[in-house]
Structure 1
Amino acid sequence: MTSIAHLGPTGSYSELAATNYAHWLKKHHGIASTLKSYQTIPKAIQAAASGEADAAVVPIENSIGGSVSDTLDMLWESDTLKIQNNLVIPIHHALLTQSTNLKTIKTVYSHPQALSQCQKWLAANLPNAIQIATNSTTEALPQLSNDETLAAISPLWAAKLYNIPTLADPINDNPDNATRFWVLGQSHTQQGSHTSLAFRLPDNTPGALLKPLQLFATQGINMSRIESRPTKLALGDYRFFIDIEASLDDPNTQATLQLLKNCTLNLKIFGSYEQIETLIS
């Protein structure tokens, strides 16, 4: 039995992603799973890092809101976790409330990512409502039962789970909204269509970043993503997170990583992985 940590509570997109991963494990490997809900993304990741859970399914980036800094920072700080798999969940936001009229709504709750992904709709339909960030898209739902002035931006499927009416749906600013999730665990995978890594630069000089990036070009390896995150050690000091379209077991990839060590500091390899199919939505 495999235990899978995720951001809760029940009805969150993270739970949907974890459920998809559990179905994939059962379908392809015959492995049964149990889901374990945590209040924050760092707590879910720490559960996998400590062995309290076998894996953590956590968001890494959204097509509108961008990257999830907690996931990147926690992965860098961990000495044990690697990326096992990658999956993409379509995001379908709805406005859940006991109110039957938008004019009565004074406060809207949701995760910061969800709020940012609905800003145009909120500006047009609830311009005076106070927006309050929560740890997940479903954390505030129990508060809505007896107050028509409150609303929450949540997954459509959460409306059925919590028995809360849907006043508006969908309210995504972009109908193609989707979130990518990583499956994190302690085993190290060497094969996959993509590999993720991160590093610091040895110094802040002209061309310092160009050198490692040129290596991928000269070796014929495509970068599908690059992002900087502050090290929190000094102003202007950054870590660079990169996804490449290459497998760790490829000799060319190994040769490139050896060259990369010569022009970077604290190079970390997070593993190779595939994108698994979404079975339920």
Structure 2
Amino acid sequence: MFELRRLRLLHELSLRGTLAAVAEALSYSPSTVSQQLTQLEKEAGVPLFAADGRGVRLTDHGELLAAHAARALQLDEQARGELDALRPQSAPVRIAVMQSAAQSLVPPALALLAAREPDLAVYVSQVPPEEGLFELSTRRYDLVVAEQYPGHTREQRPGLTRVSLGRDPIRLAVPRGGRRSHLEQLADRAWVMEPVGTAARQWATQQCRAAGFEPDVRFEIADLTAHVGLIADGVAVGMLPELVRMPTPGAVELHDLPGAPSREIFVAMREFSTRPAILAVRDALRDAFSRRHA
């Protein structure tokens, strides 16, 4: 009989690629991970790993057992969810959210939950969508609030499902009192954008190129409230989604972009996440978003 804890280590290795990454993610020592996987290999009776430089890779047997491990973990989660439904007090729910959702969506959702599920504990981590969706697959989080921009769909990860919350308009943001309100008029301005590699950066850059210029990105910052500050102080222009909280109302001018684009906000969860507490948090996020855009 395979031990579920060891199967999880194999599953993590199939996702993260190295023993060191598995150890760091699960707060184990690398030697502990190695020992447990060696024991799993003995239980399997076939080689699961092969040397690959300084690391290891999964053999065909390893890949096969990793796929079974993923299904075993799904069944474990489903069983725990059904048992949780019979308990008077639910286990905590852990969610990962991007910054704009942490600022504008999570507080009203938690207020709804306080009325609906007063005994439910929710732990919130602010992480980039790319990281959150990966860690959802590893079971670090139960729910992830993420986005996808027009023409830039997120990878569909096996075993995950999504519920769309709605559309979040994106607008051109310029200093108050400026006389330029169209994208093509800002080719000579300094820009603030999110870091290279993010969906937001890719999309914003494409908008500028479609308007006929390459943006002069002098400020590469993940914190969107910092974007607001730079724009309000007149040192940059940018593009901001509606969910971004404005520290001072009217600090910047917002103008429609060509085609009135919007990003889709969605909640992702694992397919077999049947715990009522997880579903309650998902529904509260959906209702909070609907009320904000009503």
* TM-score normalised according to structure 1 size: 0.46
Larger-gyration structure (1/2): 2
* TM-score normalised according to structure 2 size: 0.44
Higher strand share goes to which structure? 1
Higher helix share goes to which structure? 2
